[in-house]
Amino acid sequence: MRVIAAYSIKGGVGKTTTAVNLAYLSAVEGARTLVWDLDPQGAASYMFRVKPRVKGGGRRLVRGRLDVDSLIRGTDFDRLDLLPADLSYRHMDLHLDTTKRPTRQLARVLAPVRDQYDTVVLDCPPSLSLVSESVFEAAARVLVPMVPAPLPARTLDQLQAFLKAREMRRPPKVMAFFTMVDRRRKLHREIITELAGTRPEVLAAEVPASTTFEQMGMRQAPVEIFAPRSSAAAAYRKLWDEIRDQGEF
């Protein structure tokens, strides 16, 4: 089971959009895929038309007192399931802190369904917290969407420094990519050229700024469903291909 986290310290950079679209592409390829919506706002759950509610709440879930399999919901798409968000996830840091090994709890929640799925995509809340640490322990790949501007690029340095300080036995591979790209803007072109040429963790795929992504909320579906010929859909196909080309994990 390969675990991929769509993660950013900042919000509003296309994290949920990435999780939804890549999970769909994984399922289309034939992989049994699960999305875990860890964000209490429940955007991924909404996109998949699933009520953001976990019976028993986040505290019992991370303490291993709930049957995870019974909480998973099917979506409108073959081979693609969802472990929904819940408003109680807003206290997830506190829930994790009551456990003996908090940074390993999310991986333990997923352990019972390891044989049921080929791919798990974690849609993470924007933060650098105990939840983040548990995500980093559970995931083999951390996908970091970045808007081409100075501050989001700086958050990549913060993330790398945080992972290095953790001295993890098996740290996840960080894979960053630019999103909301407008090639007409000189600043966007300059930042992309600078970082893509000097940082090996920055992928070549670029996700453009597009109104197609706004339609995802109205249609509650991945872009491949309603706009397969769009630049947005092509960008996520390229991103997914590049992630797979990085090798098995």
Q: Phi and psi of 5, rounded to 5°?
A: -110, 130
Q: What is the mean pLDDT of residues 39-51?
A: 96
Half-sphere exposure of 51 (CA within 13 A, CB side): 4
Q: What is the pLDDT of residues 59-102, one digit of tens each?
A: 999 998 999 999 999 999 999 999 999 999 999 999 999 998 99
Write out the two tokens for 88.
């109680």
215 strand-pairing partners: none
Q: Which of 231, 233, 234, 236 is nearest to 223 (CA)?
A: 233
Q: Is the pLDDT of residue 157 over 90?
A: no
How far is residue 137's CA from residue 104's CA, in Å, rounded to a whole number? 6
Q: Per-residue confidence at 249, pLDDT binned at 50, 70, 90?
A: low
**Beta strands across the sheet bearing 141-146:** 73-74, 80-83, 33-37, 119-123, 2-6, 141-146, 173-181, 202-208
Q: Is the pLDDT of residue 238 over 70?
A: yes
Q: What is the mean pLDDT of residues 210-229?
A: 95
Instruction: Count the domains in the chain.
Output: 1
119 strand-pairing partners: 2, 33
State the residue range of the domain holding 108: 2-245
Largest Cα–Cα separation, the chain: 53
Candidate from 99-103, 124-128, 143-147, 196-200 with smallest mean pLDDT: 196-200
Q: Is the pLDDT of residue 127 over 90?
A: no
Q: Is the pLDDT of residue 21 over 70?
A: yes
* CATH classification of the domain holding 238: 3.40.50.300
Q: Is the pLDDT of residue 164 over 90?
A: no
Q: Which H or E element spans position 154?
A: helix 150-166
Q: Is the pLDDT of residue 105 over 90?
A: yes
Give SS3 for 50: coil
CA distances 209 to 147, 148, 181, 200, 212, Å, are 10, 11, 5, 23, 9
